[in-house]
């Protein structure tokens, strides 16, 4: 079995983005937070058109043979660093085996076309990475009257906090302080927080912020700084003391590279 097929068995072609993101897909959250299987592919710069064409062909195959993959859905995002991140909501780790079974059914149903699509994608891809992450709704922030609806968000920022060893509990406590401050100041833009539960460089958490576009995102950042003032600066300063590395990545939502669940 080729590396490309193996990778897609794990997820289906973000962080943004490591993250993120998207984990922009809105699955029904479990009581302890929705689990996501996240897969990222870095396209070769000279072969982005081929990579995107192969991914669109894969999306078409999944939609055409939905009977073979009835429970498989994913959201795709395109990063600014030639990364393409795909996130699949899963119930638990055992669900990964179910994804593999559905891929086998798709390969059988689509035949040579499936093999051709996988080969084209593999040729255009530089490397892949995989993670399993869990959303932490208690430490995310959902404003009472959000400025944007979910379907108005097309651009996402992912802030990755690679924590110092043993600082997870400090990070959890600090995250609650952020939520309390945002509520007290009436910040109109929310965010989601995720923990990596399987992947490299743990412990790591990331925060997802959705915006209309890059200009809107910059305005969100400026608004947060203005509303939270010195209190916000102090919380971010404390976050830096327990963080060994910080990264911000940004990505566009790609509905054409996604297979979303049917509307309720």
pLDDT of residue 264: 63
Q: How many CA atoms lie within 13 A of 122 on its CB side?
A: 14
* Fold: same for 3-134 and 137-252: yes
Mean pLDDT, the chain, whole residue set:
87
For the cut 90, the answer to whether the pLDDT of residue 94 exceeds it is: no
CA–CA distance, 196 with 18 (Å, rounded to integer): 11
In this prediction, residue 9 has a pLDDT band, given cuts at 50, 70 and 90, of: very low
Return the closest-CA partner of residue 33 out of 76, 91, 75. Answer: 91
Label each residue of the chain as H, E or C.
CCHHHHHHHHCCCCCCCCCCCCCCCCCCCCCCCCEEEEEEEEECHHHHHHHHHHHHHHHHHHHHCCCCCCCCCEEEEEECCCEEEEEEEECCCCHHHHHHHHHHHHHHHHCHHHHHHHHHHHHCEEEEEEEEEEECHHHCECCCCCCCCHHHCCEEEEEEEEECCCCHHHHHHHHHHHHHHHHHHCCCCCEEEEEEEECCCCCEEEEEEEECCHHHHHHHHHHHHHHHHHHHHHHHHHHHHCEEEEEEEEEEECHHHCECCCCC
Per-domain boundaries in the chain: 3-134, 137-252
Kindly report the CA angle at 262 between 256 and 264, in degrees rounded to 5? 135
Per-residue pLDDT tens over the stretch 19-63 = 333 334 344 344 478 999 999 999 999 999 999 999 999 999 999
Tokens of 103: 């891929």
Whether 214 shows a pLDDT value over 70: the answer reads yes
CB within 8 A of 79, min separation 6: which ones? 14, 15, 16, 17, 85, 249, 250, 251
Q: Which fold has domain 3-134?
A: Alpha-Beta Plaits (3.30.70)
- What is the per-residue pLDDT across 186-207, written as a single tens digit (0 to 9) for each? 999 999 999 999 988 899 999 9
86 strand-pairing partners: 39, 76
**Do the beta carbons of residue 80 and residue 107 sit within 8 Å?**
no
Task: Decide: 73 and 155 in contact? Cβ < 8 Å.
Answer: no
pLDDT digits (tens, 9 = 90+) for 74-92: 999 999 988 999 999 998 8
Question: Which listed CATH number (3.40.50.10140, 3.40.50.1860, 3.30.70.100, 2.60.40.10) goes with 137-252?
Answer: 3.30.70.100
């Amino acid at each position: 079995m080729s590396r490309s097929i193996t990778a897609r068995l794990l997820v289906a072609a973000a962080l943004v983005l490591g993250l993120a993101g998207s984990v922009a897909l809105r699955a029904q959250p479990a009581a302890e937070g929705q689990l996501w299987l996240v897969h990222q592919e870095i396209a070769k710069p000279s072969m982005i058109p081929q990579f995107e064409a192969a991914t669109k062909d894969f999306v078409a195959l999944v939609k055409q043979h939905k009977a073979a993959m009835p429970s498989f859905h994913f959201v795709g995002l395109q990063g600014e660093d030639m990364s393409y991140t795909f996130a699949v909501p899963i119930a638990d780790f055992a669900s990964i085996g179910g994804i593999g079974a559905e891929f086998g059914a798709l390969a059988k149903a689509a035949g040579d076309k499936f093999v051709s699509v996988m080969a084209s994608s593999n040729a255009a891809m530089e490397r892949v990475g995989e993670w399993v992450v869990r959303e932490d709704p208690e430490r995310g922030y959902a404003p009472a009257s959000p400025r944007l609806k979910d379907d108005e968000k097309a651009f996402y920022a992912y802030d990755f906090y690679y924590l110092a060893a043993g600082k997870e509990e400090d990070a959890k406590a600090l995250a609650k302080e952020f939520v309390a401050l945002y509520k007290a100041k009436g910040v109109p833009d929310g965010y989601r927080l995720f923990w990596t539960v399987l992947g490299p460089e743990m412990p790591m958490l990331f925060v997802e912020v959705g915006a209309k576009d890059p200009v809107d995102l910059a305005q969100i950042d400026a608004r947060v700084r203005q509303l939270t003032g010195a209190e916000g600066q102090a919380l971010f300063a404390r976050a830096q003391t327990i963080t060994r590395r910080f990264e911000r990545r940004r990505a566009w939502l790609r509905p054409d590279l996604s297979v979303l669940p049917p509307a309720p």
